[in-house]
Amino acid sequence: MEMKKCRKIAGVLVVVMIAVLTMAACGSDTQDVEPADKRSSAGFEDFEGELLGGGVVTEDIFAKADLTMVNVWATYCGPCIDEMPDLGKISKEYQDKGFQIVGIVSDTYDAEDATAKEIVEETGADYSHIVLNTDLVNGPLKDVQVVPTTFFVDKNGNQVGQVITGSKSESNWKKIIDDLLRQI
């Protein structure tokens, strides 16, 4: 009888742990935005990487906009892929407002990864996507533990505000972006 009770408790604990981990990975649609004047290095100094589909990218990519949203995603991540159509719309809508989005594909080092390229095409997230390299893993992504993870950087590559884990709705992303753009 005691063994059945232990198994039942263990089963409940497993379900609770799975629910907590799922919620942590998916994030919440409400999140306070830390003031943009709290800036720190994002680890992109002397950065060089490769774009999905080919081409070299450096830290100069951030100079193209006052604010860059760096969205770290993976090809196996449902919440990542689900928010990409909204991010594609936001990228187009905000391109003339000093804002851009850069994706980092966290599960491939291959610039020609067919799965990643197909996801970008199907979701309309046609902004720049960078594939992994050692510099990214040991630098700006060293503390990333879940996907999607998103952070914002200024034109000098400094982190602006806080790191955001989990996916968001289009309206919540716009609120966060608008708040940060007003502060820059």
In sequence order, what DSSP letters do the residues of 19-46 get, joined into one string? Answer: HHHHHHHH--S--PPPPTT-EEE-S-TT
Where are the domains positioned within the chain? 29-183
Residue 156 or residue 38, greater confidence:
156
132 neighbors 108 (Cβ within 8 angstroms)? yes
- Bridging pattern class, strands 67-73 and 99-105: parallel
pLDDT at 79 over 60: yes
What pLDDT digit, counting tens, does each position of 113-172 carry?
999 999 999 999 999 999 999 888 988 888 899 999 999 999 988 889 899 999 999 999
Find the helix or strand (DSSP H, E) in which 51 lies: strand 48-51
10 Å Cβ neighbour count for 103? Answer: 27
In this prediction the pTM is 0.79
- Contacts (Cβ under 8 Å, ≥6 apart) of 175: none
DSSP 8-class letter at 96: T
Phi, psi (degrees; rounded to nearest 5) at 47: -80, 140
Q: What is the mean pLDDT of the chain?
A: 83
CATH classification for the domain delimited by 29-183, as one of 3.40.30.10, 3.40.640.10, 2.60.40.150, 3.30.465.10: 3.40.30.10
Report phi then psi at 107, rounded to 5.
-125, 25
**Rounded Cα–Cα distance for residues 83 and 80 (Å):** 6
Q: What is the pLDDT of residue 30?
A: 37
**Residue 41 pLDDT class (50, 70, 90 cuts):** low
- pLDDT score for 22: 40
